[in-house]
């Protein structure tokens, strides 16, 4: 069992509601969602920060964010999505394994960054 919770989710050693998985990336629902459908997209191999990713994996993460954002938006009938990374502890990164947030947004929800 790995000590990194997102590595454990990627290997199936820890549970998560999986949205999509492929060789390089995995998308799953956030355990403490800021909105219905709040999804995290991670590399399946451990990297702490965005700049630690190899270019192919970085591209794959961006591809997944681009594909999933409109699908999630439609699935929860949202009006938009906030997509972002907390890149480093001082930025609010609590899990030291790269993860992109897809947060559905609704007209008038007032929760923008």
30 binds, among Zn ion, ligand 5GP, none (CB under 5 to 8 A by kind): ligand 5GP
**Number of CB atoms found within 10 A of residue 2's CB:** 14
Contacts of 32 (CB under 8 A, 6+ apart): none
24, 38, 64, 97: residue in contact with Zn ion (rule CB under 5 A): 97
Interface residues toward ligand 5GP, by CB under 6 A: 5, 16, 28-32, 40, 86, 92-95
Query: Quick check: 39 and 74 in contact, CB under 8 A?
Result: no
Q: Would you say 6 or 81 has its CB closer to Zn ion?
A: 6
**Number of CB atoms found within 10 A of residue 50's CB:** 16
Q: Is 99 a catalytic residue?
A: yes
Among 38, 97, 99, 101, the one annotated catalytic: 99
Residues annotated as catalytic (active site), given as ranges:
99
């Amino acid at each position: 069992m790995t000590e990194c919770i997102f590595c454990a989710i990627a290997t199936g050693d820890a549970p998560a509601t999986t949205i999509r998985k492929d060789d390089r990336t995995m998308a799953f629902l956030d355990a403490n969602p800021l909105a219905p459908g709040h999804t995290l997209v991670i590399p399946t191999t451990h990297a702490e920060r965005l700049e630690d990713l190899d270019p192919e994996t970085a591209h794959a993460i961006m591809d997944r964010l681009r594909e999933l954002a409109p699908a999630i938006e439609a699935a929860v009938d949202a009006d938009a999505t906030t997509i972002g990374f907390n890149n480093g502890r001082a930025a609010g990164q609590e899990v030291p394994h790269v993860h992109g947030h897809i947060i559905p947004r609704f007209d008038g929800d007032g929760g923008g960054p």
